């Protein structure tokens, strides 16, 4: 009897451990806005940070989130579809964010300024 109880307890523990691992996985849907998501990009070694429409106000993009990076003084924003240059330095190598740059609802004919996002990107360079 003791062996059966121990085996059952081990099985339950294993299921709970797997559940904890999958529920704490970091995705854009469950990322905490309070997290400091700055780490090093695997492919470039440059500092990066995940930003979302909840972490930057006003949000200047038509996509909900992406990865902000800085190399030298070049600030980029990467989404699944590609990487965009946010400042002049980055636009020497990457296209401007025009396809994903949101219109400013308060100023018809204008777009939401990139100032806040570029500032956060330049902080990654420090």
pLDDT digits (tens, 9 = 90+) for 70-93: 999 999 999 999 999 999 999 999
Strands of the sheet with 38-40, listed across from one edge: 38-40, 47-52, 65-71, 74-79, 82-85
d(CA 23, CA 63): 24
Stated as kind and residue range, the H or E segment containing 125 is helix 115-125
Q: What is the pLDDT of residue 25?
A: 37
For residue 30 the two structure tokens come to 């469950």
Sequence-distant (6+) residues with CB within 8 A of 53 are 59, 61, 64, 65
d(CA 82, CA 6): 51
Range 57-76 average pLDDT: 96
- In degrees rounded to 5, what are phi and psi of residue 73? -120, 15
Q: Please give the model's pTM, rounded to 2 decimal places.
A: 0.64
**What is the Cα gyration radius of the chain?**
21
Location of structure tokens 């396809």:
99
Q: What is the pLDDT of residue 126?
A: 84
């Amino acid at each position: 009897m003791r062996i059966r109880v121990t085996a059952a307890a081990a099985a339950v523990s294993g299921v709970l451990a797997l559940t904890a691992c999958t529920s704490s996985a970091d995705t854009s849907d469950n990322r905490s806005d309070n997290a400091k998501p700055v780490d090093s990009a695997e492919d470039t070694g440059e500092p990066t940070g995940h930003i979302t429409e909840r972490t930057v106000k006003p949000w200047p993009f038509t996509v909900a989130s992406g990865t902000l990076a800085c190399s030298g003084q070049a600030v980029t924003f990467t989404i699944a579809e590609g990487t965009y240059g946010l400042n002049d330095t980055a636009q020497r190598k990457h296209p401007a964010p025009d396809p994903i740059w949101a219109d400013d609802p308060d100023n018809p004919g204008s777009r939401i300024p990139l100032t806040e996002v570029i500032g956060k990107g330049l902080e990654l360079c420090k």
